[in-house]
Amino acid sequence: MRDRFLIVIGSVAVCGIMLLSLRQQRIAVINEMSSLHRELDASREDLWKARAEVARHTRPAALDATIGDEWAAAVPGMTLEDPPHDLD
């Protein structure tokens, strides 16, 4: 009877240690996921700042090309007097 009791106590202890190990692994994975989410949020913030900067520099009114100017309004610094650059 005493041997069975010790076997049960030992198996319960082993199961408890395994459960604690799994819990610790889960906590470590959640911590890693959390840090990755923070990095992702920071990258998204940088991306949105870059998009805002691009939008600020493109000036939508300057992108409205009129007929015949061949993208002159879309290219900053280009005037209608500039010769077209042919690739030939």
pLDDT digits (tens, 9 = 90+) for 53-70: 888 777 655 555 555 555
Residue found by looking up tokens 């959640």 in the block: 30
Supply the Cα-derived Rg of the chain in whole angstroms: 33
Per-residue DSSP letters for the chain?
Answer: -HHHHHHHHHHHHHHHHHHHHHHHHHHHHHHHHHHHHHHHHHHHHHHHHHHHHHHHHH-GGGG-PPTTSTTTTTSTT--TTSPP----
- Would you say the pTM of this structure is higher than 0.75? no
pLDDT digits (tens, 9 = 90+) for 13-56: 999 999 999 999 999 999 999 999 999 999 999 999 998 888 87
